Amino acid sequence: MHEVIVIVGAGFCGTVLAVNLLRRPGAIPTEIVLVERGPAMNRGVAYAARNIPYLLNVPAGRLSADSADAHQFLNFVRAQLPEADAEDFLPRSLYGDYLEDLIEQAERGAAPHLRFERIRDEVLDLKPLADRGIEIQFAKRQPMHADKVVLAVGNPAPAPLPWLESLRGHAAIRDDPWDLPKDVGEHQSVLIVGNGLTMADVALALSSDPQRVPTLHTISRRGLVPQTQTPFHPSSACGNAQALLEKSHSIRGLLKAGRELARKVESAGGDWREAVTFIRTLVPQIWRQLPAAEQARFVRHLQAQWDIHRHRLPPELAERLAQLKSAGKLRINAGRIQRAAAEGDRLRVEWRRRGRHETSSLSVDYVVNATGPDYVLGRTREPLLQSLQARGLISSDALSLGIRTDPAGACVNARGERNENIFYLGPMLRADHWEATAATELRGHAERLAERLMG
């Protein structure tokens, strides 16, 4: 008797899960299969090697993929860069190197009855079998049988911009923020749709040549830009968790408590980011306690504010954005885009500034979709997720935040039943946990899921 566990996706989540499975020998022989459709096995899109030195948004000392070794990533980096500090914001490609090293070490140290295999292909569908197993259908190879399948497909692509639908295929449109024009110059202009972390990455890439910086316009509904990271440390000023949890039945009460906590921390000489970090550790519990109406109220009114305080910019990147703004090369706007029309190779975009009634017009050489991941399962463009949803094997929550799971990661089907064979690991866990994007959060989910799978 033996068991086959297939992990679909070899980015951060898939890799860290595979590492934990290889370190937890079960009672029976087990085959662990890691499937990746892209070119970057064990890196994913985020940590792929690129010409642009994209930086991690979290300092090196807080990025360990192992909860039992807080400085594991920092120690890995110091073997190559002895002067690296715990507060350094390092290139993302280094984190990809770290993940590759982790999986290689785990494979070498695995128990003899564990077999590990990597497959480069795309999984198109999963079909439950009568014997409770799963048939996995690939794009290129023959189907294979698995006892358990984990969906670790990474961040979804941004949602298509509806006002560009009639212009689909126009050379000026960049739906993929990683696929930017390489010939853009100082006399050209680019509209970046979105003002979050993806916008910052796009602005960095488009301004990498100081002699050829185009004029960058951004538009988002509120015009909010992420706050900047600082070298803060947890403090005792962040009181007891129970007091905050007792107020987790009302968004109004939580907002008041969060502001009071931030003021308390700052009055003690600390940093408001300490309060946000403290609250973040309680967010999954708070989210589950909130009534549905209060969850909806948070998403509608406070999510944007939470996001810019929770998901912050590395200081170097924030400084670069400030330089671009000072030079008149970055113009950040709040408003709604109404329509776009082609003007030869360029696009004319009509939009309305927030709080205004009149329409403004903007003529640009390129439009980049930097709105961030689209977590709405109902409009996913992933063939695998489309198929699983169509057959009711996976389901979304009422607010369309992600994929419903039980506490240990088993997918919940359209009838509300737990699936014993199909699991999910990744940022769409926010349907039940809200915060599920940082390495520290996802590594915890990976460790618990590995314990369940090998139990």
Residue 207 sits in a domain whose CATH number is 3.50.50.60
Q: How confident is the model at residue 40 (pLDDT cuts 50, 70, 90)?
A: confident
Q: Is 322 a domain residue?
A: yes
Residue 221: name the closest of 371, 322, 113, 8 by CA. Answer: 371
How many Cβ atoms from other residues are within 10 Å of residue 28's Cβ? 10
Range list of β-strands (E), 78-133? 114-120, 123-128
Query: And the tokens for 167?
Result: 């212009």
What percent of the chain is predicted at pLDDT more than 90?
A: 82
Would the pLDDT of 163 be above 80?
Answer: yes
Q: Is residue 8 domain-shared with residue 127, that is, in the same domain? A: yes
User: Which domain covers residue 403, as residue numbers?
Assistant: 3-157+374-453
How many Cβ atoms from other residues are within 10 Å of residue 261's Cβ? 21
Decide if 146 contacts 133 (C-beta within 8 A). yes
pLDDT by residue (tens digit) across 419-453?
999 999 999 999 999 989 889 899 999 999 999 99
- In this prediction the pTM is 0.94
* pLDDT reported for residue 183: 87
Decide if 150 contacts 8 (C-beta within 8 A). yes
The mean pLDDT of the chain is 93
Taking the CA atoms of the chain, what radius of gyration do you get in angstroms? Answer: 23
Q: Is residue 340 domain-shared with residue 218, that is, in the same domain? A: yes
Q: Which whole-number Å values give the CA distances from 189 to 43, 54, 158, 229, 302, in the listed order?
A: 32, 22, 22, 29, 32
Q: Is 60 a domain residue?
A: yes
Q: Is residue 12 domain-shared with residue 45, that is, in the same domain? A: yes
Q: Is 235 a domain residue?
A: no
Q: How confident is the model at residue 232 (pLDDT cuts 50, 70, 90)?
A: confident
Residue 325: name the closest of 199, 411, 237, 448 by CA. Answer: 199
Q: Which whole-number Å values give the CA distances from 204 to 55, 88, 336, in the listed order?
A: 10, 18, 24
* pLDDT reported for residue 323: 97
Q: Is 13 a domain residue?
A: yes
Q: Is 234 a domain residue?
A: no
Q: Is residue 127 domain-shared with residue 214, that is, in the same domain? A: no
Q: Is 177 a domain residue?
A: yes
Domain boundary among 290, 310, 330: 310
Number of domains in the chain: 3
Q: Is 232 a domain residue?
A: no
Q: Is residue 104 domain-shared with residue 40, that is, in the same domain? A: yes
* pLDDT reported for residue 236: 56
Average pLDDT over residues 264-273: 90
Q: Is residue 186 domain-shared with residue 317, that is, in the same domain? A: yes
Q: Is residue 133 domain-shared with residue 173, that is, in the same domain? A: no
Q: Is residue 191 domain-shared with residue 268, that is, in the same domain? A: no
Domain boundary among 341, 369, 397: 369
Q: Is 233 a domain residue?
A: no
Domain boundary among 331, 353, 369: 369
pLDDT by residue (tens digit) across 287-300?
999 999 999 999 99
Q: Is residue 33 domain-shared with residue 140, that is, in the same domain? A: yes
**Where is average pLDDT lowest: 113-127, 156-170, 237-251, 267-281?**
237-251
* pLDDT reported for residue 332: 98
Q: Is residue 120 domain-shared with residue 48, that is, in the same domain? A: yes
Decide if 150 contacts 423 (C-beta within 8 A). yes
Quote the CA–CA distance of 245 and 240 in Å, as a whole number. Answer: 9
Which helix (H) or strand (E) covers residue 276, if one does?
A: helix 272-289
Q: Is residue 130 domain-shared with residue 262, that is, in the same domain? A: no
Q: Is residue 395 domain-shared with residue 410, that is, in the same domain? A: yes
* pLDDT reported for residue 14: 97
Residue 6: name the closest of 428, 431, 436, 384 by CA. Answer: 384
